[in-house]
Amino acid sequence: MRDLIARALLSLLRLLLPAKGRHAAKRPAPMPAPVPASPWSRPWTAPSAREVREIFNDVHTRGLPAPERERSYAAAFARIGVDYDYPTMPLGSLVRERVAA
């Protein structure tokens, strides 16, 4: 019975006297809503149009056969740190001819 009375008094004191000190309930500040990242906030990482024109209009690659010209384009893009994954000619036909031969 004493335990029940002590718990009731303790609950009543907690309601009447707010907690202080290190055990006081601290309510965190509300977090602001995250701002979506704009693609324009980053610097441009792709090559410029001038750089791409120089690669595709290179005098040395004009006389090369198509597969060598593609390799030259890929090497030029690799030099400036860009992955060349858009070939200008369909290389699938060349692969099929080699396999069939």
Measured between alpha carbons, how far is 23 from 65 in angstroms, rounded to an integer? 79
Q: What is the pLDDT of residue 101?
A: 47
pTM attached to this predicted model: 0.47
Per-residue confidence band for 89, with pLDDT thresholds at 50, 70 and 90: low
pLDDT at 60 over 80: yes
The mean predicted confidence, pLDDT, of the chain is 78
pLDDT at 28 over 60: yes
pLDDT at 20 over 50: yes
Measured between alpha carbons, how far is 56 from 44 in angstroms, rounded to an integer? 21
pLDDT at 27 over 70: yes
- Using CB atoms within 10 A of its CB, is residue 73 exposed (0-12), middle (13-18) or buried (19+)? buried
Measured between alpha carbons, how far is 91 from 95 in angstroms, rounded to an integer? 6
Q: What is the pLDDT of residue 54?
A: 92
Measured between alpha carbons, how far is 73 from 47 in angstroms, rounded to an integer? 13
